[in-house]
Chain A
């Protein structure tokens, strides 16, 4: 025990040293390992003011380049920036004010350009209006710039710019932002000065110009006539070039005649503004004729811009706006799609134009889009059906189909969309499965693969059954013939799963997995089990019976000490009674003598001998009937004999008397037997 404890202590000490030393030795190596991530809750907080100021500088550069959309996009991402919480408000203010300022600077720049054009064209009225508006924008821009500057100052204080070294990156980057703010301030000041210069000294003669058109309503593509007069101080201005503006853009020109009159025709452009069914149309008495018509409008003006000798003498003038109502035909397109379509196959797309009261045109070109990708262009009548092949690699699911009818003269474009469900057909297997399968052996399966679309040609079929696998390919008609080898297995009988995996070639068929259950009977293990059960049922019980019968024998070890009884070698079949008692001493020996006599008699009557492994009691139980009515007394005598033989029991006088009596009675009854 002491040795064992010593070894245990030694092992424990060794283990403890190893557990401590080895990780320490390995720690340098583990420290070199790449850190794949860190716990965000425990992560160190580090703010980088330099990056913030540089980002602001770059954003203000975009402002100076008059790109407000870019400025807005950049500063719109500031909520995702790593900013100290105390500086959240000033950074929001900086971003908002800078974004507004960028649009204002852009507007001011555009307005100044436009102002220059107007002044050049001596359109001083318009120029004055624009100048006034632009100055208001400049005033507001200066306010925004001050807000930007104030926000920057607050951020700088928060990041302790004042205590940073002037040559540090932080100070330098901060300085870059402030310098850009000064540049913007200079730009605003220069813009104000420019506007002031443009607005100064505009004392020129102002002519009068008029414009009339006919008709006031026209179809797109049609021609209308225009006419008007140009005069100054009651005197016609002849030979001057007049420009007809349509929605502010030059559309036609004319020249005044000696009477200062001008005229001409212009083509109504093919434009189809978004539909608005005017309320007046609905209430129109002849509404039925006009229901198909949508009437947006365009603005027409005549413009006189002084040139050559007129420049510096006259100012430019425009006539009041005249509205021209546009007419065009608008249709509705009804789209009909099949319930489902399949990749790789043609699908029918039907449509019908509804022109209401408008005349029906000849064919129109229609573009068909699948998920915004052009897949077909067809020339369609009022009612049409187009066959469109769905690309084979199209994923299953819902897709958008869009039909777009190209505008044609008086007919406006029409667009309509609908959802197309693209799916794959599920294959089905037609075949007859056997009811019972005997294994080991081959399982033959013949059948046909098809779907709602048709047969599956060249589809790969993988079959798995009971651990075996085989693969076949379907024929052109979808038929197949497969043999699945089946091993022995360990079961006796039961249901086993047959798995089918079908992998089609055509893109319009979906792969499938089918399972079936077949009842199998294993001939080998079943037969073997029957044999084993039979052997166990016959052999085992007798074996167990014999083994458990040994339990009736006296114990090899007894608790009590027995008086050693000298043993004599007994003749085969005889009970070995102690020889010392054969001398006839005492009641014990007498009783045993009498029992021996009766035993010999019983052996003679039963014609058998006491077996070596049999006890007296067993022999008596088996054969005491031969004594007839004395069988039970003999049984009692046998028990007494065993007690005397195997214990220290001393017979009582009553027992001696009973033993003597039974011996006499049996001898008397069977005296003819010669005992």
Chain B
């Protein structure tokens, strides 16, 4: 057996092994739907029947009864901002969860006064295990009526620039914004309570802001009423039927594995198209025919 044959076989085996690993190995990246670990959102996606979209181009042109869940850890481009605006203006709901990402760029584009504070919100008393996971117990009446009594956040921030009727939830009076990141409640640091969730009308649609995307992750969604709160925000209570929840993956930071999986999925879709299939069939036919003809020439 020739060396070239051996090398070719090795390359094929390695390639197949890599493709299978990429396809089947679960993601460990934050907020990935396929991630079953503590930092994925497998539970939330299953509970809400969410569909994942890899581009805002997949947003429906009739956005009523649709809720777009967006965690903007990658800065959206101008075309994407325009699509978002159109989606909400035409009646869709945008559930924007952010703490230290690019949510303010979206709010600025939409010409809204509200902003994510981007400074850590800590609560030394009302918290789970430590002050970086504050617990929220102050809600607007309509949220309390939905049976929501408490939330547990995880490395959250606050919201600023809101009108009073827009606020859905606030942190406790013992919370503070850690402006110098020293984990100590300094005398000059802003003291709570701070809004952490809000709802605004925009065009025919709604924008819902939550100052902590981490309430969606597997290890947090089951704490206190986090899941119920997310369902309340995703599905408007007065609506005739539950909304379709779309989770945007395109603005999440991805590991090389996730990027490879996305590309592999795209490749499979391209190969599955009629033209590609026809080409592959023709190629196989030619190879087999050539082999058969060659074999036929040696018979006799």
Q: A48-B124, A82-B126, A548-B296 are in contact. Are A39 and B39 (CB under 8 A)?
A: yes
Q: Are B300 and A555 in contact (CB under 8 A)?
A: yes
Given contacts A51-B185, A393-B204, 4 further A-B contacts (CB under 8 A): A40-B219, A43-B128, A48-B125, A51-B124
User: CB-defined interface of B237-248 with A at 8 Å, one 1/0 digit per residue?
Assistant: 011100000000
**In the complex, B23 has a CB within 8 A of chain A:** no
Given known pairs A395-B236, A490-B275, the reply for A547 and B293 (CB within 8 Å) is: yes
Q: How far is the CA of A471 from the CA of B205 in the complex (A)?
A: 23
A552: Cβ under 8 A from any B Cβ? yes
Rounded to whole Å, the gap between the CB of A75 and the closest CB of chain B is 12
For the complex, what is the distance from the CA of A393 to the CA of B201, rounded to whole Å? 10
Instruction: Write the nearest CB–CB distance from B117 to chain A, whole angstroms.
Output: 14
Query: Is the beta-carbon distance between B223 and A40 smaller than 8 angstroms?
Result: yes
In the assembled complex, which residues on chain A have CB atoms less than 8 Å from the CB atom of B274?
490-491
Please name all residues of chain A whose beta carbon is closer than 8 Å to the beta carbon of B132 when the two chains form the complex: 38, 43
Asked if A34 CB lies within 8 Å of chain B CBs, one says yes
List 10 A–B pairs whose Cβ atoms lie within 8 Å, in order of A's numbering.
A35-B155, A37-B217, A40-B38, A43-B128, A54-B174, A82-B130, A490-B274, A501-B61, A511-B91, A555-B298
**By the criterion CB–CB under 8 Å, are B131 and A39 in contact?**
no
Question: Does A551 contact B238, Cβ atoms closer than 8 Å?
Answer: no
- Is there contact, CB below 8 Å, between A553 and B300? yes
Q: Which of A37, A513, A554 contacts B39 (CB 8 A)?
A: A37
**CB closest chain-A residue, reference B6:** A4
A361 within 8 A of B: no
Contact B300 A82 (CB under 8 A): no
Those of A65-121 within 8 Å (CB) of chain B: 77, 80-82
Say if the beta carbon of A41 comes within 8 Å of chain B: yes
- Say whether A398 contacts B220, CB under 8 Å: no
Contacting pair A397 B100 (CB below 8 A): no
Cβ-based interface call for B62 (8 A):
yes
Flag A17-54 by CB within 8 Å of B: 1 or 0 each: 00000000000000000111111110111101011101
For A83, the closest partner residue in chain B by CB is: B125
Q: B31 to nearest A CB, angstroms?
A: 9
Q: Which residue of B lies closest to A553 (CB)?
A: B300
Interface readout for B38-77 with A: 1 if CB under 8 Å, 0 if not? Answer: 1100000000000000000000011010000000010000
A550 at the binding interface (Cβ < 8 Å): yes
A-chain residues with CB within 8 Å of residue B39 when the two chains form the complex: 37, 39
**Counting CB contacts under 8 A, is B231 at the interface?**
no
Contact call A41/B126, Cβ cutoff below 8 A = no
Determine whether the beta carbon of A41 is less than 8 Å from that of B38. Answer: yes
Chain A residues near B173 (CB, 8 Å)? 55, 58
Return A496 CB to nearest CB of chain B, in Å. 13
Chain A 396-429 near chain B by CB (<8 Å), digits 1 or 0: 1111000000000000000000000001000000
Residue from B64, B150, B220 in contact with A40 in the complex, judged by beta carbons closer than 8 Å? B220
Q: What secondary structure prevails in chain B residues at the interface with A?
A: loop
Closest to B155 in A: A37
Q: Does A503 contact B (CB under 8 A)?
A: yes
Inter-subunit contact B100/A36 (CB<8 Å): yes
Judge whether B238 and A395 touch: CB under 8 Å. Answer: yes
Which chain B residue lies CB-closest to A4? Answer: B3
Across-interface contacts of B144 in A (CB, < 8 A): none
Q: Is the interface of A mostly helix, strand, loop or mixed?
A: loop
Asked if B299 is at the interface (CB within 8 A of a chain A CB), the reply is yes
Tell me the bound Cα distance from A94 to B300 in angstroms: 103
Whether B150 and A80, one on each chain, are in contact in the complex, defined by CB atoms closer than 8 angstroms, is yes
Binding site for A on B (CB under 8 A): 3, 30, 38-39, 61-62, 64, 73, 90-91, 99-100, 124-133, 135, 137, 150, 152, 154-155, 172-174, 185, 201, 204, 213-214, 217, 219-220, 223, 236, 238-240, 274-275, 293, 296-300
- The one of A40, A551, A554 in contact with B128, judged by C-beta atoms closer than 8 angstroms, is A40
Least distance between A73 CB and chain B CB atoms (Å) = 9
**Residue of chain A at shortest CB distance from B175:** A51
- CA A491 – CA B274 in complex, angstroms? 9
Contact A503 B220 (CB under 8 A): no
Residues of B within 8 A of A552 (CB): 300
> Which residue from A81, A462, A491 sits with its C-beta under 8 Å from B61?
A462
Residues 254-289 of A, flagged 1 when their CB comes within 8 A of B and 0 if not, give 000000000000000000000000000000000000
Of all chain B residues, the one with the shortest Cβ separation from A44 is B130
In the bound complex, how far is the Cα of B44 from the Cα of A272, in angstroms?
52
Interface residues in A500-548 (C-beta closer than 8 Å to B): 501, 503, 510-513, 547-548
Partner of B296, one of A462, A511, A551, A554: A551
Indicate whether A1 reaches chain B with its CB closer than 8 angstroms: yes
Q: What is the CB-to-nearest-CB distance from A350 to chain B, in angstroms, rounded to a whole number? A: 24
Q: Are B219 and A39 in contact, CB atoms less than 8 angstroms apart?
A: yes
In contact, B133 and A40 (Cβ under 8 angstroms): yes
Residue from the list B125, B238, B300 in contact with A81, Cβ < 8 A:
B125
Report the separation of the CA atoms of residues A35 and B30 in the bound assembly, to the nearest whole angstrom: 11
Per the CB 8 Å criterion, the residue count for chain A at the interface is 49
Name the one of B219, B293, B300 contacting A554, with C-beta atoms under 8 angstroms: B300
Once A40-B128, A55-B174 are accepted as A-B contacts, the answer to whether A396 and B240 lie under 8 Å apart by CB is: yes
**Interface contact B62-A513, CB-CB below 8 Å:** yes
In the bound complex, residues from chain A placing their C-beta under 8 Å from that of B137 are: 77, 80
For the complex, give the distance between the alpha carbons of A38 and B127 in Å. 14
CB <8 Å contact, A46 and B3: no
Does A551 lie within 8 Å of B297, measured CB to CB? yes
Chain A nearest CB: distance from B192 CB in Å? 11
Contact of A48 among B131, B154, B155, B239 (CB under 8 A): B131
Per the bound structure, the CA–CA distance linking A551 and B300 in Å amounts to 6
Assuming the contacts A81-B125, A82-B130, asked whether A397 and B219 have C-beta atoms less than 8 A apart, the reply is no
* Distance A398 CA – B239 CA, assembled complex (angstroms): 8
Whether A38 lies near B125 (C-beta < 8 A) is no
B125→A82 contact, CB < 8 A:
yes
Query: Given the interface contacts A40-B223, A513-B62, does A550 sit within 8 Å of B297 by beta carbon?
Result: yes
In the bound complex, residues from chain B placing their C-beta under 8 Å from that of A553 are 300
In the assembled complex, the CB of B250 is this many whole angstroms from the nearest CB of chain A, namely 18
Quick one: which of A35, A36, A398, A513 has the most chain B CB within 10 A?
Answer: A36
Instruction: Flag if B154 contacts A38 (CB, 8 Å).
Output: yes
Q: Most chain-B CB neighbours within 10 Å: which of A80, A81, A490?
A: A80
Q: In this complex, what residue of A is CB-closest to B127?
A: A82
Pick the most buried of A48, A501, A512: most chain B CB atoms within 10 A of its CB. A48
From B99, B131, B201, give the contact of A36 (CB < 8 A): B99
Chain B residues with Cβ below 8 Å from A462 are 61
| Complexed CA–CA distance, A550 and B299 (Å) | 9
- Residues from 423 to 474 in A contacting B, C-beta threshold 8 Å: 423, 462
A81 to B220, CA, bound (A): 17
With a CB–CB cut-off of 8 A, which chain B residues contact A51? 124-125, 174, 185
Partner of B125, one of A35, A55, A555: A55
Question: What's the nearest-Cβ distance from chain A to residue B100, in Å?
Answer: 5
Q: Is the CB of A77 within 8 A of B172?
A: yes
Query: Given the complex, which residues of B lie within 8 Å of A423, measured CB to CB?
Result: 240
- Once A36-B155, A55-B174, A399-B238 are accepted as A-B contacts, the answer to whether A501 and B125 lie under 8 Å apart by CB is no
CB distance from A327 to the nearest CB of B (A): 38
Nearest-CB residue, chain B, relative to A34: B100
Quick check: B155 and A397 within 8 Å, CB to CB? no
